[in-house]
Amino acid sequence: MLSILLRLLQLADSSFPTGAYAFSHGLEGLHALGLVTNETDVYEFARAHIEETLAQQDLPAGHHTHRLAVASDLDGLIHLDHLLSALKPVTSFRTASMRIGRQTLESALPLYPAPFALAYHDAVRHGTALGHHAVAFAVVTHAAGIDATSAVAAFAAASLNGYGAAAVRLGLIGQGAAQRIVSRLEPDLAAALAFASNLAIDDLGGYTPLIDIAGMRQPSLPARMFAS
């Protein structure tokens, strides 16, 4: 239905108030180390996130969240939330995911106050659940009546666009280059979505050592544009 599509476009739009613009997902730290300086480097950075962070963590978490929401399994969702925390060892990345997720809940639930979503939000506020971005986005899209496949694809596309936007803000590339990167990575994103749709919870993982090291060093930079 057209109304469902419009809801998804609203929730996934960069102007929706989640605070995601404040985070570079390790890009600023890599640039400070001299490891990302041009369009090719930004492309490789985004590809690494697609293959490791999105395909093996956030996208499958989105699918599992929708399944748990259908079953009204709040305990299972809380377990998934804590698993995502364990898979994000860098404090700034873990904090970013929770800050964006919690703001997503605050902004979206007044629009789509479904009972399961409200119960999850209550668990987040009481510290039982953590509010990771992938989980929170899936919770609110389910509350809005959006199917899992569309919601997870929108999350993936928004994440990729966010990597490009961070690179533009850092002055590494222009807007045209950011769009070239997004277009070049479309097959990679499609492959990540296909892979994530059938990944079991126990198989979630991901390995981004350089990005993690840059993320740990980024808070000590003498000047920063981003919170991560």
In a domain, 130, yes or no: yes
pLDDT at 25: 94
- What is the CATH classification number for the domain harbouring 159? 1.10.4190.10
* Structural domain containing residue 69: 36-217
In a domain, 62, yes or no: yes
**Nearest Cα to Cα of residue 49 among 185, 146, 151, 144:** 185
In a domain, 26, yes or no: no
Query: Given a cut of 80, is residue 227 above it in pLDDT?
Result: no
In a domain, 104, yes or no: yes
Residue 172 CB: number of other CB atoms within 10 A? 22
Q: What is the mean pLDDT of residues 29-57?
A: 97
Q: What is the mean pLDDT of residues 201-209?
A: 95
Q: What is the mean pLDDT of residues 26-42?
A: 95
Q: Are 133 and 11 in contact (CB under 8 A)?
A: no
Q: Are 87 and 120 in contact (CB under 8 A)?
A: no
- What does the chain come to in residues? 228
In a domain, 13, yes or no: no
Query: Given a cut of 90, is residue 217 above it in pLDDT?
Result: no
In a domain, 54, yes or no: yes
In a domain, 15, yes or no: no
How far apart are alpha carbons 64 and 174 in whole angstroms?
36
Q: How many domains does the chain have?
A: 1
In a domain, 228, yes or no: no
pLDDT at 225: 80
Query: Given a cut of 90, is residue 13 above it in pLDDT?
Result: yes
